[in-house]
Amino acid sequence: MPKALGCNYEAPTFGARYPDGTCIDGFMWDLDSCDEPGGPLTSGGDTPCPWCNTRAHIEWRDTRHSGNARQRRTAARALVAKVRAWAEARSSFDPAGRFQHGAA
């Protein structure tokens, strides 16, 4: 990965109809899993973020591509734009506009 993972992606992730998942270092965490407002999240970290960790997200979804490794790579590459568009549409934030965690 050329750049650090982690973005402002927040979207319905863990089955809720509201954005219940947020991206931390490239993986989705369950916003409902903290005991206090602003507290640490205790559940998540398994789902690659579809916005900044797109390739891993595609693999995680097991898109069941057939064919050899080269064909699967081509298919995954074609999916990246599609998945990122999907992710951006779902996110309650603008993940592209404010990409860096903690950046001013």
By the criterion CB under 5 A, which residues form the site for Zn ion? 7, 9, 23, 49, 51-52
Minimum distance, C-beta of residue 95 to Zn ion, in the bound complex (Å): 6
SS (H, E, C) 47-93: EECCCCCHHHHHHHCCCCCCCCHHHHHHHHHHHHHHHHHHHHHHCCC
CA–CA separation, 48 and 24 (whole Å): 10
Q: Which is nearer to Zn ion, 55 or 72 (CB)?
A: 55
**Sheet holding 21-24: strands in order across?**
10-11, 21-24, 27-30, 44-48
Q: Which is nearer to Zn ion, 23 or 79 (CB)?
A: 23
Minimum distance, C-beta of residue 6 to Zn ion, in the bound complex (Å): 6
Minimum distance, C-beta of residue 45 to Zn ion, in the bound complex (Å): 12
Minimum distance, C-beta of residue 38 to Zn ion, in the bound complex (Å): 20
Q: Which is nearer to Zn ion, 5 or 34 (CB)?
A: 5
Helix (H, G, I), strand (E, B) or coil at 10: strand
Q: Which is nearer to Zn ion, 70 or 102 (CB)?
A: 102
